[in-house]
Amino acid sequence: MNKLLLAALLLMLGGQALAADRLKDITNIAGVRSNQLLGYGLVVGLDGSGDKVTSSPFTGQSLSNMLTQLGVQIPPGTKVDPKNVAAVSLTATLPAFARKGQALDVTVSSIGDAKSLRGGTLLLSPLKGADGQIYGMAQGNVLVGGAGAAAGGSKAQVNQLSVGRIAGGATVEREVPTALGSGEFINLELQEANFTTANRVVQAINKAFGSGTARAVDGGMVEVRAPFDSNQRVQFLSRMENLAVDPAEVSPLVIINARTGSIVMNQAVQLEPCAVAHGNLTVTISNTPQVSQPPALSGGQTVATNQANVSVTSDGGKVLKVAKSANLNQVVSALNALGATPQDLISILQAMKAAGSLKADLQII
């Protein structure tokens, strides 16, 4: 009997351990964040697949300005045709704690009418932050994942040719200061604000480091007292971020994408017993061209007309009983039994919610 009780206890503890998340997976440290960088540049060396000067005049202007800065004098009135050049936008992400000289990946996207960036080289271009300051410089060969060919009026293309990437193509030139190493406290921001989860985070930290170490500011932030020394603070955060915390149970939610007909629901969704009658209404419209030709020597004219045929078909739907479903597998089985398409299921779920049978929030995106 004792062995059975011990086995049951071990199973319960194991289930709780599996349900727990690391603190770093459900929280973020305030002030530790990445920053987006944006830039403008020119990709050269294209095999005639660059921008057209007529539809992308800014490419010619940029090329002329660049040559002037490099000391190349362009005679007045000279037409610059940059068919081997493309104007591009540059995007990159500056991670937290990035230092000068660190390499960043850069995404290169055409902003003109260039057909392809394959084989091109990005010239030295600045990357700016939201404050207008330069935080990096980008340059390098553009790698395009797509492929395409055209001949005799026919064209074949795989993936996008106007977007490429330069791995390690940017260098950090300016560092972003963080407030992690200053002050007595650090703040933990919950990725999903929840009072229960915030309370459990406080309990887990105080249990590991002593009472009074952490306190909840609100349902989305926890204030933690940390050591002043930078090395001790890093060791403290390393231990803290690996603490196991049981987050609060998720709220039942059904997400509907009305454009694609996709439906996603989480494991907390439940159904109460209800009856559903569903039928299909089909409207078919066909257009048949007809030609009316007059008799010979009658002096009439041949007239082309269109004969439209409209038919409406209604399929009688049966009344189906939907049983109570307490878990996700039962919910899926009950909805599949209706035999409705995803588009029809959207209306059924909305009706179930209005009738009080669907125990979940509906979110339409």
Assess whether pLDDT exceeds 60 at residue 18: no
pLDDT digits (tens, 9 = 90+) for 306-327: 666 656 555 655 666 677 777 7
CA-to-CA distance for 269 and 13, rounded, in angstroms?
25
pLDDT given for residue 7 in this prediction: 37
pLDDT at 244 over 90: yes
- Domain ranges, ordered by start, for the chain: 35-144+160-172, 179-245, 253-290+304-364
Stronger pLDDT, 89 or 253, i.e. the higher one: 89
Q: Taking 70 as the threshold, does the pLDDT of residue 16 lie above it?
A: no
Q: Tell me which residue of 329, 318, 331, 319 sits closest to 357, measured CA to CA.
A: 331
Comparing 331 with 190, which gets the higher pLDDT?
190
Closest CA to 269 of 338, 363, 196, 190: 363
φ and ψ at residue 47, rounded to 5 degrees:
-90, 65
In total, the chain counts a number of residues equal to: 365
Q: Taking Cα atoms as reference points, which of 288, 276, 358 lies closest to residue 317? A: 276
Q: Is the pLDDT of residue 1 over 50?
A: no
